[in-house]
Structure 1
Amino acid sequence: MVKMAESYRVTAQGRKRWSLPQRHETDPNRIGSRCLDGEAERKLTVPFRGHISGGLHPGKKVIVVGVVDPNPDRFYVALTCGRGTSREPPPNVALELCVRFKDRQVLRRACMSGSWGEAERLIPFFPFIKDQPFKIEIHCEHSRIRMFVDGQQLFDFHHRVLPLSDIDTLWIKGSITITKLA
């Protein structure tokens, strides 16, 4: 696993601004912002759909750094097997994370062959604040995905979709702005 030095500074407005070192183009743990069909490099706009080079495997980390919108409703982060269509994810979704601000919920579930499983809801705290930055780290382990927000563990989610290498796409949509992916 490649260790990345990371830090944040507090801006004049009292917000955290995360900085992550840039990865080299040949880094196998890099998330590409290239589309699978060879479309030219694009900006980190939401909705976002990007390829995870080499798929998931134990030891791989996906990092999403962003800012919650000033008037958020909800946002989604999903790890999928393939791209799906422009509006719908593919039939196998390894993890769909739905952050809802109205009821301060962080729901997660999986979809196998088009059939959604039961949503898990239990979290120790709600880490997202409107108009504030955040850093989500998704760690892939042998039997589970571990998620951290701003360095604090939020939940474990046991794998339902296998093989892990088929999980090769990151989807992000909703009330956030993405500033960095790693």
Structure 2
Amino acid sequence: MAVQATEKDVINVEDDHLDDSFGNPGLISPDKEDLSRLLTVPFSGRIVGGMRPGKKIIVMGIVDVEPDSFNVSLTCGRGSEKEAPQYDVALKLAARFTDRQFLRSARVSGKWTEEEASIAYFPFIPDQPFRIEIHCEHQRFRIFVDGHQLFDFYHKVKSLSSIDTVRIDGGLHITKLG
């Protein structure tokens, strides 16, 4: 069941407390509500302090039984997708099941970069769990799925600290976030 995330559903993600449990002190609910309800898709959560070299984002979840696609994005700002989007997207990871592609792109000053597509294999299986790790380095993001490094994505948004929001949508269920 998909539930629309609201502003009160935002969870802060803090880097030094990455853990594989809902008891993770880095995950802070503004209302101290049940975290499983807050990890609904579509999801939007604040990255405390923005990104910087050495920081990583971990998304754990389960792919839907009959998925079409899902996206994980790191953005600058928290504008609504329904409004004319004005914020930059530092990294958009798009898993497309119809053609088994794991694409990445960015949007800077309102313009999308060309999608990068080459990967050795498609790492996602319907109705199966996964773990995506996005490691921020000085010049690039390194993306790992289930412990395997799949690719690097060189920064298009140069101000790393302005990358302050993680957004997740599509055919998946989030189980843990850190």
Measured against the shorter chain, the TM-score band is 0.7 to 0.9
Residue 84 of structure 1 deviates from its aligned partner by: 1.3
Alignment correspondent of 1:136: 132
Cα contact 1:64–1:137 (8 A) shared by 2? yes
Number of aligned pairs?
A: 160
Alignment correspondent of 1:27: none
**1:70 maps to which of 58, 65, 69:** 65
1:172 maps to amino acid? I
Alignment correspondent of 2:53: 58
2:169 maps to amino acid? K
Say if 1:95 and 1:4 are closer, same or farther in 2 by CA, change over 3 A.
closer
Is the counterpart of residue 107 in structure 1 residue 108 in structure 2? no
Is the counterpart of residue 172 in structure 1 residue 168 in structure 2? yes
Cα contact 1:80–1:94 (8 A) shared by 2? yes
TM-score (normalised: structure 2) = 0.82
Note the aligned Cα RMSD (angstroms). Answer: 2.2
Query: Unmatched 5+ residue regions in structure 1?
Result: 6-18, 25-29
Once residues 32 and 166 of structure 1 are traced to their aligned partners in structure 2, the CA distance between those partners, rounded to angstroms, is 20
Residue 43 of structure 1 deviates from its aligned partner by: 1.0
Q: Percent identity?
A: 56
TM-score (normalised: structure 1) = 0.80
Say if 1:170 and 1:4 are closer, same or farther in 2 by CA, change over 3 A.
closer
Once residues 21 and 169 of structure 1 are traced to their aligned partners in structure 2, the CA distance between those partners, rounded to angstroms, is 19
Post-superposition Cα deviations, 1:65-93, rounded to whole Å, max 9, x if no partner, equal: 00000000000000000011153554310
**1:121 maps to which of 114, 117, 120:** 117
Greater per-residue helix proportion: 2
Alignment correspondent of 1:14: none
